[in-house]
Amino acid sequence: MRTHIGTFILAIAIAFVLAFTIWWTFPTQAKQQFGGVFIDPLVMMHTTTNLLAEVQYDQGTVFLPDGVHYDQ
C-alpha cells in the first residue's frame, strides 16, 4: 500500500513540475501577429453611403422621417 501511495505522490510531483515548466516557458497572453493592421469602426461608419433614412420605433408606433406619409 505504501508503494502505491509513494508512486502516486511521485506521479503528482512530476506532473506538477512538468505543468509548472510549461507554464513558465510559454507566454500566457496572446500576441498580435500583425502590428500594422488596425480597424476603426467609427471611421468606417463615416464612409457609408446610400443608407435608408433612420426610422424610429416606440412601442409599436412608427415615426417616419419628415416628408414621408402613409397616405401617399
Q: What is the per-residue pLDDT across 3-46, written as a single tens digit (0 to 9) for each?
A: 888 899 999 999 999 999 988 888 767 666 666 667 777 777 76
User: Which pLDDT value is given to residue 37?
Assistant: 67
Q: Which three cell numbers stand for residue 4?
A: 502505491
Categorize the per-residue pLDDT at 47 as very low, low, confident or very high, splitting at 50, 70 and 90: low
Residue 10 lies in a domain: yes
Q: What's the grid cell of residue 50? A: 446610400
Q: What is the pLDDT at residue 48?
A: 63
CB atoms within 10 A of CB 34: 6
CA dist 17 and 5 (Å) reads 18
**CA–CA separation, 72 and 65 (whole Å):** 14
Alpha helices in 1-72 (DSSP H): 2-25, 41-46
Q: What is the pLDDT of residue 58?
A: 56
pTM: 0.38
> How many folded domains does the chain comprise?
1
Domain interval for residue 52: 2-63
Domain membership of residue 17 (yes or no) is yes
Is 69 contained in some domain? no
